[in-house]
Amino acid sequence: MDEAEDVFDAAQSWNGPFGFGLSESKTSKSKLFFNRLLETNSVPVIWISNSIQGVDPAHLRRFTYALNLESPNENVQARIWTKSAKKNKVKISKTKIDELVKTYDIAPAIINASVRAASLTNDEKAIEKTVDSLQTAMCGRVTKKDKPDFSFSTALLNCDTDLENLTRRILTLKDTNFSLCLYGASGTGKSGYARYLADKMKMKVLHKRASDLLGPYVGLTERNIADAFAEAKRKNLLLVFDEVDSFLQDRNGAHRSWEISQVNEMLTQMENHPLPFICTTNLMDDLDKAALRRFTFKVRYDYLMEPQVRAAFTHFFGKEPTTALCDLTHLAPGDFTVVAKRAKICGIADHRELAAMLRQEQAVKGIKGKPIGFGG
């Protein structure tokens, strides 16, 4: 029975093939009909549905087995891309397939549709255009796997904890039931370290932003939080919550019941999760105090120190700085990423111009660096 949700939706609304505008007594008979149907069917039946949210729990518990089919892992997706390309006679290099697998987490049907589009247009670019258009139609937005915002280096982290030493200690653990709260200024490398740690632990990352979890209906945010933890546990993934202050705010300032319930759900999941997970925030003071107690490690990130600024200059621009940089006291690796991108577009390579662009990034934050030379 394909598209089974249509049948069960009819059972819920009582306006399907079993009658129109049924009375209350007949609706109970219709529900009874479904219960009997599921309990006494004389031949094997497979019900296929895209969603079971509208199915009555009384119906669900009468199924012999319920199987949730998720998107295949990266190795399987690579084989699907290769097979689909061969079937549709589209040439896609292994490098391109690896790139697609690392960019998208999509179902086989979308892979086949995008390759068919490339076959019709004879244009490899149609693949990504098709994937993006289908995702927008289905989900309202394009979702891609996260990539590092900058070339990550632990030498460019200014933290109150030695993360290199912490990483080495974590790798020796047999029990990986721990959590980290990484907090501090934006662009300082919090998410970068989460990906770095996952790579060292040979784990994939399940990255969730506030926009992935916050729902428009009461109870939906709590369900999304629970689903994220369940998925991480099921697939053995390192769970990373970005902008955790959006749904883990101090309950003392809550005005609505759902503001409290979503914090409670998060605390419960944190308490029982058997795998490592990481939360990042720029607003540490806004977090619920009970949540802070549940983090194994709390690591504060700060702006780069002067030697790190000089090292970052070399790291991002490929040259030693020849101008004074001691006034750049509020820069993060993310600022160097922005300047490096702008310099590449504008064709700027002069040391002084690069330093001036870094000062502009610092000035945008409303921070004035200490003056160079002797003060008056």
Q: What is the tens place of the pLDDT at every residue in 324-375?
A: 888 999 999 999 999 999 999 999 999 899 999 999 999 998 766 555 444 4
Residue 8, judged by CB atoms within 10 A of its CB (0-12, 13-18, 19+), counts as: buried
**pTM of the entire predicted model:** 0.72
Residue 20 phi/psi, 5-degree rounding, is -120, 130
- Please give the single-letter amino acid code of residue 361: E
User: Over the stretch 44-68, which tens digit does the pLDDT of each residue have?
Assistant: 999 998 888 778 888 889 999 999 8
| Chain center to CA of 257 | 26
- Beta-bridge partners for 298: 181
- 184 sits in which H/E element: strand 179-184
Taken as a whole, the chain contains a residue count of 376
Closest by alpha carbon to 329, among 290, 294, 353, 361? 361
- CB-based contact 333:189 (threshold 8 Å): yes
CA distances to 83, 203, 277, 292 from 176, in Å: 37, 12, 10, 19
Q: Which domains does the chain have, with CATH numbers?
A: 4-60 (no CATH), 74-139 (no CATH), 154-302 (3.40.50.300), 306-364 (no CATH)
**Helix ranges restricted to H, 201-255:** 210-213, 220-235
DSSP for 92-149, written as a single string: --HHHHHHHHHH----HHHHHHHHHHHHHHT-THHHHHHHHHHHHHHHSS-------S
CA 162 to CA 185: how far, in whole Å?
18
pLDDT in tens, the chain (376 residues): 888 888 777 655 544 444 444 444 444 557 788 888 888 888 999 999 888 877 888 888 999 999 988 778 888 999 999 999 999 999 999 999 998 988 888 889 999 999 999 999 988 889 999 999 998 888 777 877 766 544 678 899 999 999 999 999 999 988 888 999 999 999 999 999 999 999 999 998 998 988 888 877 777 888 889 999 999 998 899 999 998 888 787 777 666 666 688 888 888 998 889 999 999 998 888 888 888 888 999 999 999 999 999 999 999 998 888 878 889 999 999 999 999 999 999 999 998 999 999 999 999 987 665 554 444 3
CA 200 to chain centre: 19
